[in-house]
Amino acid sequence: MQGVILAGGRGSRLAAVGSPKPLVPVAGRPLLWHAVRHLNAFGIADVFVALGHHADAVVRAFAPGAAGRPGPVRCDTAALGLAHRLTLLDTGTDVETGGRIARVAGHLERAPFVLAWCDGLTDLDLAALVACHRRHGRLATVAAVHPPSRFGHLRLEDDLAVGFREKPRLDDQWINGGFFVVEPEALAWIGGDRCSWERDVLVPLAAARRLAAYRHAGFWRCIDTPGDLEDLAAVCRGASAPWSRCRVPTP
C-alpha cells in the first residue's frame, strides 16, 4: 500500500513554538518524521507528503539539497532513519484538505491507500485498520478514537472535592482520529481545491453509508497547541513514547 500524509496547513495555533507544525520537535524528531515512521512500521514504504504552508522549510529539513527545486522532491530516507521511498509534494497554500489529496492522486497507483494527518501521534494498528476496511467494503474507513478532555474532572461529595483527574480520556465519545483507508473511487467525491475532506467528503460518505469506522481504544494525541505538547511531555515522562514502539523495516 501507498501512504499520503497531509502536512500543508498553517499550524497557526502552534506558532508560539517557533516551528511550522510538521517540524515541531517531539522526542527529538520532527512531528512529520513520526508520522512517516508510523506508516513505515506497517509496511507502507512509499509515502507522499502533501505540503503547502511552510513547504520550503519542510523541504530544507527533509531534503536539504533540493531546496528551491520545483516538482516532487525525493528524500534520502536512509539518512533520515526511515524506510524506502518518501516524496514531498508542494500542493499550494490556498488549498483545502480534499484539494490536497486530489493533487497527490496523480502520483498514486489506482489502489486503496492509507491517508493520515501529520499531527496525530498514536499506537493505532494500521494493519487492523486496513483489515477492517477490506471486511466492510466501503469507499473509505476512518479510525475512530476517544478524545482527551480539555479540562480536569472533579469528584464531589456534598460540598467537598474528594478527587481530581487531570484531563481524562472521554471513553463515551468517538471522534475522527485523522487516519483513513481510501479507495480510488472515493476521490471522485472531491470537488476541487476548495473541497474539505472532513466536511465535503466524509459527511456525505457517512450519509450514504459508504464510510466504515475502525474503533481504536489505545493511545492517541493530536498536537495542535503548545498545551498539547506539554500534555504529551507529561505522558511520556519516564517512559518510552507510546506511539513509537513499532519496528521500522530496514530500507
**What is residue 233's three-state secondary structure?**
helix
Mean pLDDT over each residue of the chain, to the nearest integer = 88
- Cell output for 143: 479510525
Q: How confident is the model at residue 207 (pLDDT cuts 50, 70, 90)?
A: very high
**pLDDT tens profile 75-114:** 999 999 998 899 999 999 999 999 999 999 999 999 999 9
Q: Which residues contact 122 (CB under 8 A, 6 or more apart)?
A: 38, 143, 145, 177, 179, 216, 218, 219, 220, 221, 243
Q: What percent of the chain has pLDDT over 90?
A: 65
**What is residue 109's three-state secondary structure?**
coil
Q: Which residues contact 223 (CB under 8 A, 6 or more apart)?
A: 14, 21, 24, 26, 31, 119, 120, 121, 229, 232
User: Looking at domain 2-236, what is its CATH homologous superfamily?
Assistant: Spore Coat Polysaccharide Biosynthesis Protein SpsA; Chain A (3.90.550.10)
In the chain, domain spans: 2-236
How far, in Å, CA of 243 to CA of 241, rounded? 6
Question: Whose CA is closest to 146, among 213, 233, 58, 81?
Answer: 213
How far, in Å, CA of 5 to CA of 178, rounded? 10
Q: Is the pLDDT of residue 14 over 90?
A: no
Q: How confident is the model at residue 192 (pLDDT cuts 50, 70, 90)?
A: very high
Cβ-contact 237, 165 below 8 angstroms: no
Q: Is the pLDDT of residue 10 over 90?
A: no
Model pTM score: 0.89
Angle (CA) 192 198 199, round 5°:
75
- Cell output for 149: 478532555
Q: What is the CA radius of gyration of the chain?
A: 19
